[in-house]
Amino acid sequence: MGSKNTGRNRLVDAVCSSQPERQHDDVAKQRNVASKLQSTSELTLGPVPGRRVERMYLKLPLSKVVIECVTISIDPDECKVSNFIYRHQGLLRATDPQVKSLMRSILKNGQREPILVRPMPAGSPQKYEVLYGSRRRFAVSELNKRGGEKLSLRAWFCSSVPDIDARILARAENEMRVDISPWENAIYVSTYLAENPTGQLILEEELGVDSCAISMLLMLSTLPEAVVRMMVSPNALTFEGGYQLAKAFRDLNEDQQDRILKALSVQQPFNTTAQIRRAFRNESEMLLSGKPGVCAKNDKIVIEGKDGAQIIITRHRTEGNRYIMDITGFDEGRLTKLIESLKEALQIF
């Protein structure tokens, strides 16, 4: 995509100008700050009397007001991720290599960087709105599901951040982080323009792209989420490759799309864009030619056994009478018995 530095720099400057200025006060002052914030937001804050309170003085990018934030410890499940954040929360998975790496880092070194939150309106199911750091929130939540000592989420708590500033803060965070996938950016573009039909010029300036790139992102946004979920990570789907794949899906009717999705689901996960595009091309060619492919009847048979033993039988992509057997959870003794049983079956049939 092209690059217009003006919009990008403006967003980055919004956060870079608000780097933490930390100071330590005595216990009385800590309690005073916590009580003031608590009465304002009606929330229970995390700083413990007798420990130091970390503070950040944040200059809001549009309001130009400097506000004080303090670090708190919160339950990740009490947080709602802001709608201003690009990242598609439904694509966050514990099996994603980047998420796995983050979870390992938190277990080993703790959560080094706090997220940024503001209070939710009174009566909301959650207490906090995450303005940036949604992946860290997800990682801590997933670690807590595994049992053991429950982890708290470290956060900068800002009692009053208007929407106009929250939007820019969230966007600046997204701009600085390279792990927002092209498809997630495309969904943001599509959603933004649906809500603001005359806002394309503003969007081009904000993202630092031209009208051609916006058109490509809009096409990419039509790619079904089910396809992106088949990737080992959303980031494994490139901008150009995803755009071409979306165009190819658009040319199929609804029934053909459903059958292709079923066929691809048997072969997931895909590590690269090239892999899924190759699989899509093979399946679509066989579908349109009438040849049997993975999407043929009985394309996948799963047989579950005791103690985790499993046999998965899938039809070969190009040879209709050929099947592939995947055997897991078998020790040498059980495998020997299985082979003997198969030999007997071959004599019968």
List pLDDT tens digits, range 73-87: 999 999 999 888 878
* DSSP secondary structure string for all residues of 240-296: HHHHHHHHHHHTS-HHHHHHHHHHHHHHPPBSSHHHHHHHHHHHHHHHHHT---TTS
pLDDT higher at 333 or 116: 116
2-16, 48-62, 307-321: the lowest-pLDDT one: 2-16
292, 290, 287, 285: which is closest to 318 by C-alpha? 292
How confident is the model at residue 120, as a pLDDT? 93
How confident is the model at residue 293, as a pLDDT? 46
Would the pLDDT of 130 be above 90? yes
How confident is the model at residue 217, as a pLDDT? 93
Would the pLDDT of 42 be above 60? no
User: What is the chain's mean pLDDT, rounded?
Assistant: 77
How confident is the model at residue 275, as a pLDDT? 92
Which of 105-109, 131-135, 157-161, 242-246: highest mean pLDDT?
A: 242-246
Q: What are phi and psi of 152, to 5 degrees?
A: -95, 160
Q: What are phi and psi of 74, to 5 degrees?
A: -135, 165
pLDDT higher at 123 or 346: 123
How confident is the model at residue 10, as a pLDDT? 38
346, 345, 309: which is closest to 327 by C-alpha? 309
Average pLDDT over residues 134-155: 90
Cβ neighbours of residue 90 closer than 8 Å, sequence gap 6 or more = 225
How confident is the model at residue 135, as a pLDDT? 87
How confident is the model at residue 143, as a pLDDT? 93
Confidence tier at 317 by pLDDT (50, 70, 90): low
Rounded Cα distance between 129 and 161, Å, is 11
How confident is the model at residue 266, as a pLDDT? 84
How confident is the model at residue 348, as a pLDDT? 63
Is residue 116 a contact partner of residue 131, using CB atoms and an 8 Å limit? yes
DSSP state, 321?
T
Would the pLDDT of 290 be above 70? no
